[in-house]
Each structure stands twice: as structure tokens, then as C-alpha cells.
Amino acid sequence: MSKPITVLYVEDDEDIRDVAEMALEGDDFIILVCSCGEEALEKGALSSPDLLLLDVMMPDMDGPTTLINLRKLPHMEMTPAIFMTAKVQPSEIKAYHDCGAIGVISKPFDPMMLAEQIKSMMTREGL
């Protein structure tokens, strides 16, 4: 990919956030890190990310609720979203897709494969 992918990344667990950030650092990604849904809404209002990468289980505002609220921002209505979660039963994955996700990355994730998983999902969607 020629230009870096700007990712609005929302994860409440600092250790997981750090690992994912390190995994995505480099020429291919620009990471806008958020520790909660409220912070994602604030940063989302001020930026135009190419992708939303959202933890599902977070206190106060979970990932699906965060996505619903981000979608209310006019410039984010169509921004692709990927959920990261340990909850990957078929019914749960269907629910994530039903609320607009292009994919789901299961936790624990492989840091060495994270960038490729994201690129693959985006390519599959024609993005």
C-alpha cells in the first residue's frame, strides 16, 4: 500500500494496546490510540481515520456501542471497522458483522500477524 492506513484504535487494556501499537508501527500504519469509547469519540470527531479497530469488552462504552456512536459522525458513517475480542462464538461474530464490522480478530492475537490480518480484511472488502 502506498499511503499509510490511519487507524483509530480503541483498547482499554494498556498491555494489549502497547503490543498492538508495536505490532502496527512502521510505514504502513498511523495509529490514533484511545483507551475508551469516550476518547474514541473525541479523537474521531477531530480526525478522519481509514479504519476503526475496536476492542469489544470495555467498561462504560463497549466496542459495538462505540461504533454506533462513531457512525453518528458524518465523516465516519462508512469508515470500515474491525473488532478485536476473545468472544468469537459464531453468534457473536455474526452480531459484530451485523453492526457493521468488516472483520473480527480474535484475542489473544499474534502480534507478528496483526498488520497482515488487517490488510487482508481491508483488501477483501476492496478498500
Confidence of residue 1 (pLDDT cuts 50, 70, 90): very low
- Is-above-0.85 flag for pTM? yes
Domain 5-116: CATH superfamily is Response regulator (3.40.50.2300)
Query: Grid coordinates in use for 108?
Result: 489473544
DSSP notation for the chain: --SPEEEEEE-S-HHHHHHHHHHH-SSSEEEEEESSHHHHHHHHHH---SEEEEES--SSS-HHHHHHHHTTSGGGTT--EEEEES---HHHHHHHHHTTEEEEEESSP-TTTHHHHHHHHHHHTT-
Is the pLDDT at 26 greater than 70? The verdict is yes
Confidence of residue 27 (pLDDT cuts 50, 70, 90): confident
